Chain A
Amino acid sequence: MERIVFESVRKAFRHRPALFNWLGREQRGETVALKDVSFSAASAEILALLGPNGSGKTTALKLISTTLLPDAGAVRVGGSDARHEAGKVRRQVGIAVAAERSFFPRLSARENLDFFAALDEVSRSERAQRIQEVLRDTGLEEQADILVMKFSSGMYQRLGIARALVKRPSVLLLDEPTRSLDAGTTARFWTTIRALARQQTTVLLATHNFAEATAVADRLLLLHRGELLVDRSIGDSESAEALRAFYFRMTGEIDEAICNL
């Protein structure tokens, strides 16, 4: 069964300048973030969402998590429509975004996780054990009882991942999840993601990291200027370098690494 369905989805953001726009130069108009995008993802599948900045990756994740509504088309998660059955969708989805600061600074990591787990209706009897598990999986056990206002960027990011995992979602949305992580934590995180997929979790991973995409993903979705350019599987033997070359060929962008050789 398809766990995530994107059906001809369009999303644009309108720019309405302030009343006294002659004082400044705010641009009028709209940015089309997604143009008629369709794809689906099955249970246990890991999809890598690749694309340059502004290609629509984060917008796609936000539409699935119901923090955005589509202008046209439909987004369905586990058969529930994100527009009309947002509550049912939210129960299935966990999301972790890059550059996390969305925590309560004067609570510890464990207290933050306990708070969000309560709002995600994780039963009180299960909560402590689940929190301990995700703290271990994200390497935050030793920092569990430190106020998060004292955390580094990497620790914030790990905590964001822990928060997404604690509700045990059937759909996990990750936006550049390893951007600030060290190599050891990244490797452990990839193992966790693969383990989750084996337990039937669908993972949608927006990333700029080709090694990450080839290491964990089964399929590649390549977005460019709001359009879905490519939807194909990633072979077991496909290297990060091959994917990188494919990406630059498809998007027409200039690979600075090659130019600098």
Chain B
Amino acid sequence: MSSTLDKLYAILRRDLLTAVRHRSGFIVTLVGVFTELAAFYFLSRAIGPGFRPDGVEYFPFLLVGTGVYTFFLMSAQAFLRAVQEAQQTGTLEVLLTTSTAPAELVILSSISAFSGSLVNLLIYLFAGVAVFRASIHANLFSCAAVLILSLAIALALGIAAATLQVAFQKGSALLWLLGSGLWFLSGTMFPIHSLPRPLELLSRAVPLTYAIDGMRRALLEGQSLTAMAPTLAVLAGFGVVLLPLALAGLSLSLRRARRDGTLSFY
């Protein structure tokens, strides 16, 4: 256990040092956050106060939807980028010759990638509330529960992208699908009941839909854990199924790459 914590610390430290030494990166991220929020703020003002999706003001609705969606996408992207860079520099092969088991290495690395995105999400939500006056009524326990369960799903998504990258050098294809399709289906910018019935049913098969809906209800409406139990159960179900599947897929793709000698192909 202490060895695992030591490894996690080493990975977090590596990623933090790399991030702060990209001096302009942090500032660009902050500028991006404020620009995006400003666009959503003025969009919601242009639409007017009469539009209240799911009974909440439109700007907070957008704030949570886009914040959670970006958290998923950024986490998976950060993790995939780390795998791609490791392939390009040859670090992946070296990492896989260390005493750390590949699955442990992947999980620890993804925790680090997700921590960065979590900080970004918190900055995003804080800026939305503090600067753009989004009104929230948070239930912190419910928020934490939604976030933890969503993390497991996001982790599975990142690992699935890494699996595709190792197996076919096409991890970005999954993220392209996510980036181009899922924001539309998951209720990021409008409630899913606005969609035609078949698409609404499809959106209910997307885990991100429940993560965004759950976070809105926890953060904007302050719903209790009891009231949110069905949503939390669905999120947990997705996590229990997707995470082991993603890990098994990665294990298979690593084994195949070791057999074919394609570990460092990109």
Contact = CB atoms under 8 A, between A and B. Distances in A.
Contact of A118 (B6, B17, B101, B255): B6
Given A13-B261, A118-B7, A106 B89 contact: no
A91 interface: yes
16 contacts: A62-B93, A66-B96, A67-B96, A68-B258, A71-B259, A90-B99, A95-B97, A101-B90, A103-B89, A103-B91, A106-B18, A106-B22, A107-B14, A115-B10, A119-B10, A119-B98
Contacts of B18: 104, 106-107
B95 interface: yes
Interface string B222-266: 000000000000000000000000000000000100111101000
Interface string B73-113: 00000000000000001110111111111000100000000
B9 interface: yes
- Max chain A C-beta neighbours (<10 A), residue from B10, B11, B95, B96: B10
A119 B17 contact: no
A201 interface: no
Interface in B195-219: none
Interface of B: 3, 6-7, 9-11, 13-14, 17-18, 21-22, 89-91, 93-101, 105, 255, 258-261, 263
A102 B264 CA distance: 11
Given A90-B99, A121-B3, 5 more contacts: A66-B258, A100-B90, A111-B17, A120-B98, A167-B99
B6 A13 contact: no
Contacts of B89: 101-103, 105
Contacts of A59: 261
A25 interface: no
B261 to A, nearest CB: 5
Interface residues of A, number: 36
Nearest to B20: A106
A67 B10 contact: no
A95 B94 CA distance: 8
Contacts of B101: 87
A71 B261 CA distance: 11
A190 interface: no
Contact of B10 (A90, A114, A167): A114
A189 to B, nearest CB: 19
A114 B100 CA distance: 14
A65 interface: yes
Contact of B7 (A62, A107, A119): A119
Interface in A201-254: none
A32 interface: no
B111 to A, nearest CB: 14
Contact of A87 (B13, B21, B94, B99): B99
Nearest to B18: A106
A90 B98 CA distance: 6
B17 A106 contact: yes
Contacts of B90: 97, 100-102
A66 B97 contact: yes
A116 interface: yes
A104 B14 contact: yes
Contacts of A106: 17-18, 21-22
Contacts of A121: 3, 99-100
A42 interface: no
B16 to A, nearest CB: 11
B97 A147 contact: no
A93 interface: yes
Contacts of B263: 67
A197 B255 CA distance: 32
Nearest to B14: A115
Given A104-B14, A111-B14, A93 B259 contact: no
Interface string A54-65: 000001001001
